[in-house]
Amino acid sequence: MNRQNWKPGNMLYPVPAVMVGCSRLNEKPNIITIAWAGTICSSPPMLSISIRPERYSYDIIKDTGEFTVNLVTPELTKAADFCGVRSGRQVDKFELMNLTPTHSQFIQAPGIAESPVILECKVKQIIRLGSHDLFMAEVVNVSVKASQIDEQGKFHLNQMGLVAYSHGQYFSLGKKLGKFGYSVQKKEKLRSNRNREDAGRSSKHEDGQGQKGKTKRPKPKCPGRG
């Protein structure tokens, strides 16, 4: 197979594009868009974000030891891009992007009311790496929009078109390809599940309703100028 070898680089794509909220006492709240973010532990629930030390938000998060991670939908993509290429030193990103800072339950850093999911985080460790420092944080609260929860208490996370960042471009989640463990699921059970899904779709169609997938409430499982 014909291949090419390139110099080492960050080609681990796609990655989540998230908007990180932070604030310091008596200062305007700020947002930095982060692409270098990810889950690092399930129990306790922890995640990480990587920030360049020269970014405006770096010192805010380092000094306060807290931040929020706000998931991005297609409607928030333009704001997310803006918050990644403009610095909070010069502009008020909440005001310019018509975003609403919302109070958090357990930290002082603001969330973004327009985001469907807000993760409140407390920094546990900062690791110097090179161009970026890695902030490892514990998730102390998860806030979700009630409008995205159905009558059975199912949270429809995967129907929001959550935004990912890949090689300089933004994309939303697309076609479902499978679920965790489907590759080892017994064929009989898999066929039965498919039949139930088909029957459900037919029933919804007959009732004149669109099919909505059900997703369990998730477990608490770079661009950016700051």
Element (H, E) at 199: helix 187-206
Indicate the residue type of 197: E
Query: Percentage of the chain with pLDDT > 90?
Result: 75
Q: Is residue 77 part of a domain?
A: yes
Of 216, 121, 161, residue with least CA distance to 17: 161
Using the predicted structure, report yes or no on whether residue 131 has a pLDDT greater than 90. yes
Is residue 210 scored above 70 in pLDDT? no
State the total domains in the chain: 1
Contact 150, 212 (CB under 8 A): yes
Domain assignment present for 202: no
- Assess contact for 139 and 120: CB atoms under 8 A: yes
In a domain, 182, yes or no: no
Per-residue pLDDT, 202: 62
Of residues 189 and 175, more confidence is placed in 175
Instruction: Please check whether residue 165 lies inside any domain of the structure.
Output: yes
Asked if the structure places residue 55 within a domain, the reply is yes
| 116 lies in some domain | yes
Is residue 2, in this structure, part of any structural domain at all?
A: no
- Give the model's pLDDT for residue 188: 65
* CATH code at position 50: 2.30.110.10
The candidate with the shortest Cα–Cα distance to 56, out of 29, 80, 16, is 29
pLDDT of 60 higher than 90: yes
Answer yes or no: is 198 within a domain.
no
pLDDT of residue 148: 87
Q: Which domain, by its residues, includes 140?
A: 15-171
Instruction: Supply the mean pLDDT for the chain.
Output: 89
pLDDT at position 186, please?
78
Residue 92 has pLDDT above 90, yes or no: yes
Residue 11 vs residues 24, 28, 84, 167: alpha-carbon distances, Å: 34, 35, 19, 8
- Contacts of residue 89, defined as CB under 8 A and 6 or more positions apart, other chains included, come to 56, 226
The residue that leads in pLDDT, 195 or 161, is 161
- Judge whether 154 and 218 are in contact, CB under 8 Å: no
List the single range of 70-79, 87-96, 130-139, 177-186 with lowest mean pLDDT.
177-186
Expressed in angstroms, the distance from the first to the final Cα of the chain is 43
Flag whether pLDDT at 77 surpasses 60: yes
